[in-house]
Amino acid sequence: MRLLYFAWLRAKIGTAEEELALPRGVEDVAGLLEWLKSRGPGYAEALKNLETVRVAVNQDYVGPEHRVRDGDEVAIFPPVTGG
């Protein structure tokens, strides 16, 4: 799967984009975020408060129970501030 990070989530995690295989045991967005937290202090810090984290799978907003699959484009970012 392809993971994309934007705004301060990108800055804290330290990368804009990465490719990885769907981790064993991860079934949905909530599981993926939990798994990402264990990848390092930058991830843990960025994902500490999930109320300020939004997720889009294949460019559509989704909730924590949305299932993830290998091949998905998963974007993780803060609430938007355009306009």
Applying CB under 8 A, the residues found at the interface with another protein are 4, 6-8, 11, 56, 59, 61, 75, 77-83
- Taking the CA atoms of 17, 23, 27 and 32 in sequence, report the sign of the dihedral they define: negative
Judged by CB, which is closer to another protein: 11, or 27? 11
Q: How far is the CB of 18 from another protein (least distance, A)?
A: 16
3-state DSSP assignment of residue 30:
helix
Q: How far is the CB of 24 from another protein (least distance, A)?
A: 28
Rg of the chain in Å (alpha carbons): 12
Q: How far is the CB of 78 from another protein (least distance, A)?
A: 7
3-state DSSP assignment of residue 2:
strand
